[in-house]
Amino acid sequence: MLLIEGDGSLLMHIQEFETLKRHGLKCLICVMNDGAYGSEIHKLRQEGIDDSGAIFGRPDFAGIARGFGLRGAKVTDVGQFRDLFADYQAHDEAEIWDIPISDKVQTPRMRKTLKAGHGVM
């Protein structure tokens, strides 16, 4: 099972790490960590509005995972993926990959939305 999740969203339900551990579920969670509520910062920036309320820093999700008794890794280079995935497959437990991403790059969908004028209301 694979979950690709944003950092802000994962923080809102971090307690589910305990559920993964308690039930022995094998799940790979890839956290896209831009240190903010990504959708909101892009909309705020588009409108020229201060985005500081949507920025919370970059939590150490690998460390948090280990605190719950799960496996965790910080991905700092795309060259890590092959070995990390092989290691994940060799174990029968949940694992969280903390993947830092830029808060400056917008997805194609976000660019289209902002270009169409559907930013902050």
Confidence band of 107 (pLDDT split at 50, 70, 90): confident
Give pLDDT, residue 118: 62
Token digits of residue 116: 């169409």
- Positive or negative CA dihedral for 104, 106, 112, 113? negative
Residue 83's Cβ-count burial label (10 Å; 0-12, 13-18, 19+) is exposed
Mean pLDDT rounded to a whole number for the chain: 91
**Domain boundaries of the chain, sorted by first residue:** 2-115
Give pLDDT, residue 88: 98
Token digits of residue 72: 């965790």
State yes or no: pLDDT of 121 exceeds 70.
no
What pairing do the DSSP bridges indicate for beta strands 2-6 and 28-33? parallel
Which range among 10-24, 38-52, 56-70, 103-117 shows the weakest confidence by mean pLDDT?
Answer: 103-117
Give the total residue count for the chain. Answer: 121
Query: 120: which DSSP letter?
Result: -
pLDDT tens by residue, 14-32: 999 999 999 999 999 999 9
Side-chain-side CA neighbours of residue 41 (13 Å): 19
In this structure, are residues 17 and 59 in contact, taking their beta carbons and an 8 Å threshold?
A: no
The matching CATH number, chosen from 3.60.10.10, 3.40.50.300, 3.40.50.970, 3.30.70.2740, for 2-115 is: 3.40.50.970
The neighbouring-strand residues paired with 96 are 29, 72
Q: pTM here? A: 0.84
